[in-house]
Structure formats: C-alpha cells, structure tokens
Amino acid sequence: MNWKRIGTWCGIIAGIQFIVITFTIMIFYPEGYSFLENTFSSLGLSVTKGYSTPWNWFGFATATTVAGVLMVPFWLSIRTVFTETPMQRGLSWLGTILGVVAAPCLAGIGIFAADLFGVQHGWSTILFFILMALTIGVYSVVILLNKEYENGYAMIGIVTGALCLLYIFVIGGAAMQKVAVYAIILFSVLQGHKLLKIFE
C-alpha cells in the first residue's frame, strides 16, 4: 500500500473514529444527551450537569485530535490527483494548506474544554469551520476543472462548505452543527472512496 492510499484511509478513519467516540460519550452522558439540543462541545466539558466528567473531556479531546492529525495526510494525498494544469496544481496546494491549517483548530475544539477555556474553544471552533469551508470550496473548484473527476463530488463539496458557513454565520445551534460536521465526514468518506479507486 503506497502513501497516497494510506493518506486516503486516514481521511476515512478520521470521520469513523470521531463518530464512534462521540456516540459512546453520548450514551454515557450524565442525565442523558439531547442529540438536537446539546452541541458536540457539550461532550468535552470538564463538569457536566454538576458531575465531574474528565473522561468525557479526554474522549472528546482524543476524537478531535486524532481526526485533526489524520486530516493532514488526507489533504496531502488528494492534492496529488490534481496536477494536469498549473491552475489545478496551484489551487490544490492552496486547498491542502488550508486543510492542514484547519487540523490544529479541530484538535483545539476538544483540547480546550468550553467550560474552562471558553475563548480558545470558541476561536478554535470558528476557525475550523471557516477553514474547512474554504478548503472544501477550493477543492470543489479544482474538481470542476478536472475533466476526469465527476462533478457530483464538487456539488457535494459546495453544499458542505455552505453548511459550514451557515452554521458559523447564520443559523448556529446544536442541530445545525451536527449537520455541518456530518456533512464534512460524508465529504471525506466519499472523496476517500473515489481516491482509493484512483490510487489502485
């Protein structure tokens, strides 16, 4: 297995492990977790509804940090597909750089518990969603410029980027946050499936 396929699998695994860990925390959440009313950040609080929850914080920090680390090889791998023209090469490098910069922001969302480090947690969240919207938006343009890459992947990317921006700037709320996060994961998994075929 070459490094490009490994990087692709990293992007797929990043989303899967995030879903598994966060759902596990939801199951054991003190006095119950409301999927539509509680944010993901609620999973990483040091104190939840009066209960000390260091394991919740540790689990959520692990989920976001692992996802952030695995994002890096994924964006480095996808860049290698778009080399047909100088425009594609330049935009794919831009998209990858933005994606790599988003990685520590994602880790910061979990590491900085919202009830202890509100400012750092808030800025990590804002920067992550904005950077992801830009990353996915740039790659959506690159996909449209590539004759051998189906435009449907670009359409999914445009919708995903729009959902991220809507969450940060317009709608907000726990339900919209989950829509944006799961859209990012879906985008990564679908792109990963496509890339695995390319890198065979």
What is the residue extent of each domain of the chain?
Answer: 3-198
Mean pLDDT (the chain, rounded)? 95
State the Cα–Cα distance between residues 156 and 154, nearest whole angstrom: 5
Q: What confidence score (pLDDT) does residue 124 get?
A: 97
Q: What confidence score (pLDDT) does residue 147 get?
A: 87
State the Cα–Cα distance between residues 61 and 169, nearest whole angstrom: 25
Q: What confidence score (pLDDT) does residue 200 get?
A: 84
- Does the pLDDT at position 1 exceed 70? no
| Tens of pLDDT, residues 48-61 | 988 999 999 999 99
Residue 172 neighbours by CB under 8 Å, 6+ apart = none
| Tens of pLDDT, residues 66-88 | 999 999 999 999 999 999 999 99
Q: What confidence score (pLDDT) does residue 148 get?
A: 85
Tell me the C-alpha to C-alpha distance, in Å, between residue 180 and each of 73, 86, 88, 145, 168. 22, 31, 26, 25, 10
Q: What confidence score (pLDDT) does residue 172 get?
A: 87
| Tens of pLDDT, residues 99-148 | 999 999 999 999 999 999 999 999 999 999 999 999 999 999 999 999 88
Residue 39 neighbours by CB under 8 Å, 6+ apart = 174, 177
Q: What confidence score (pLDDT) does residue 118 get?
A: 95
Q: What's the predicted TM-score (pTM) here?
A: 0.94
Q: Are 183 and 161 in contact (CB under 8 A)?
A: no
As a whole number, mean pLDDT of residues 175-185 equals 97
